[in-house]
Structure 1
Amino acid sequence: MSNKPLIGMNADFRATNRNMPAYGYIAAGYFQSIIAAGGVPVIVPPLADTESINALLDSVQGFMMIGGADLDPRNDGFMLHPSVRPLDPSREASDRMLMAEIAERRMPILGIGTGMQLMNVQQGGNLFLHIKEDLPSAVPHHDAHDPNHRHTLDVESDSLIGRVYGDGEIRVSSRHHMAIDEVAPGFRVTAKCPDGVIEAIESEMMDWFAVGTQFHPECGAASALDVRIFEEFVEAVVARTQEEIRLVA
């Protein structure tokens, strides 16, 4: 059996628009990072039913939830803020079904950007809908003219993120206007921007490796330290798979 685990990752989706056909897509940094870390990416288009979701998850050993546009707050009982640019409904519906089943299975997961926000919401947390209004003293977390916009990061040393970055000044790629407000039960904050905006969360549950970053370690401006996040994730997936094999043997 290969030591390279299959890692599912959700594709984004754009519906038919005038003369353009509908298509699914994913930024190359996501699958390139998984390949570099020793995993085999399996790109998953939006799926419309739980039977398909379960068939897919039966075939992979871990999952990465990618970033993208915004979660629609109306799906969680909140009003739609004017700044929100929702995901395509078919992608969001699929992502929510995937996240619910991943949590039920305690499958190892890495959530990035919107993926981290969904993990938090699905597990019982909630979000600020617009940092500029909800946290007016915050530094800029998005620059429309600079896709590689970066800010500094304060990390908790006793965490995966702390293990990855160690001591010294840390700068990460940032492009978001929503952020975690209340952290879901079972998770803790392991990194913040110095302005207090939550930038990483990790599961405290012994049976679930689940890590989320609001920043983008797959970005083109990523550093060698950023890549370590993917290596830690793939290593955790391999360890979980080997433990499951041992228990069955």
Structure 2
Amino acid sequence: MPVKKKYTKIRCSYINAVYRANGTPIIIPPFDSTKKLKEYIDLIDALVLSGGEDVAPSSYGEDNVIELENINPDRDKWEISLFKAAYKAKIPILGICRGMQLINVALGGSLYQDIDHQLNCNFSHLPLDLEKRENREYVNHKVNIMENTLLNKILGTNQLKVNSHHHQAIKKTAKNLNIVAKSECGIIEAVENKSKSFLIGVQWHPEDLINNYSCFINLFSELVENAKVRKEENING
């Protein structure tokens, strides 16, 4: 039998969002070892952790409560190591969907493995309609952003509509993170670092909304600006 080849893909919307924010996008492939880790940490000025497969429950010390087919433990291991190294180096970090969940797990938090199975929410965070699910610009529900938070300052509002393409969510929040936004049914939609270094995670996909809702490009612009400041500080000692 032919060997099934593995691959990982990333949507162009992430690349375009970084480019439009005056950053230079670099795609980091997942490796099955951490030998290349330092090279990438030395290369990058900021890190975007993208969406994708479910984070394996074994990464946060749990057994599966439901059957999860869409997991990639090798990617989990690599990205958790990449995040920890970037976090230690105070590299600005933005986590999107899976990326936010992975940040929480890497810092000691846990996840709901399936919202519909474990929570009582009055709407689906993963649209049941296949056409809406494929339309990444489709806004699905409101999120409430807490006032006087960095996210509130960046987006310039305390309530907005977002797209939604996830069935997992943060359960126990890592101690290094503050909850800064929730959905109408109480699910955590955004987190921030408690320390001064730039770290934001959002559950929705801002990279797919920048054409119709200009405030979302601000997340990427803020990431790039923080990267520039850190780089200048390192150059000047």
TM-score if structure 2 supplies the norm length? 0.89
Q: Which has the higher strand share?
A: 1
Match of 1:47 in 2: 31
Aligned to 1:63: 47
Give the aligned partner of residue 205 of structure 1: 195
Q: Of residues 79, 86, 102 in structure 1, which corresponds to 2:63?
A: 79
Kindly state the Cα deviation for residue 237 of structure 1 after the two structures are TM-superposed.
Answer: 1.0
- Which of 140, 146, 161 aligns to 1:171? It is 161
Query: Do 1:131 and 1:138's aligned partners in 2 also have CA atoms closer than 8 Å?
Result: no
Evaluate the alpha carbon distance shift between residue 132 and residue 24 of structure 1 in structure 2; reply closer, same or farther with a 3 A threshold: closer
Partner AA of 2:41 in structure 1: L
Runs of at least 5 residues in structure 2 that lack an aligned partner in the other structure: none
Task: Give the corresponding residue for 1:9.
Answer: none
Matches within 5 A, 1:186-225: 186-206=176-196, 208-219=197-208, 223-225=213-215
Q: How does 1:78-97 map to 2 (within 5 A)?
A: 78-97=62-81
2:227 is matched with 237
Q: So what's the TM-score if we normalise by structure 1?
A: 0.85
Distance 2:7 2:112 in 1: 30
Residue aligned with 2:222, SS: helix
Deviation at 1:49, TM superposition (A): 2.5
Following superposition, the deviation at residue 109 of structure 1 comes to 0.6
1:35-72 Cα shifts (integer Å, max 9, x gaps) = 00011011011123323011111111111100111011
d(CA) in 2 for partners of 1:72 and 1:23? 18
- Picking from 143, 146, 158, the partner of 1:156 is 146
1: CA distance, partners of 2:67 / 2:190: 23
Which 4+ residue blocks in structure 1 deviate beyond 4 angstroms?
A: none
Question: Which ranges in structure 1 are unaligned for 5 or more consecutive residues?
Answer: 1-15
Correspondence 1:24 to 2:8: yes
Q: What is the 5 A alignment of 1:69-148?
A: 69-144=53-128, 145=130, 146-147=132-133, 148=138
Amino acid at match of 1:44: I
* Cα distance in 2 for residues equivalent to 1:161 and 1:85: 33
Report percent identity of matched pairs: 29
> Using the alignment, how far apart are the partners of 1:173 and 1:83 within structure 2?
25
Which one scores higher on RCO, CA 8 angstroms, separation ≥ 6?
Answer: 2
Amino acid paired to 2:22:
G
Structure 2 CA distance, aligned partners of 1:222 and 1:138?
Answer: 26
Q: Give me the whole-angstrom Cα distance separating, in 1, the residues matched to 2:95 and 2:126.
A: 19
Query: Across the two proteins, how many residue pairs are aligned to each other?
Result: 228
Residue identity matched to 1:125:
G
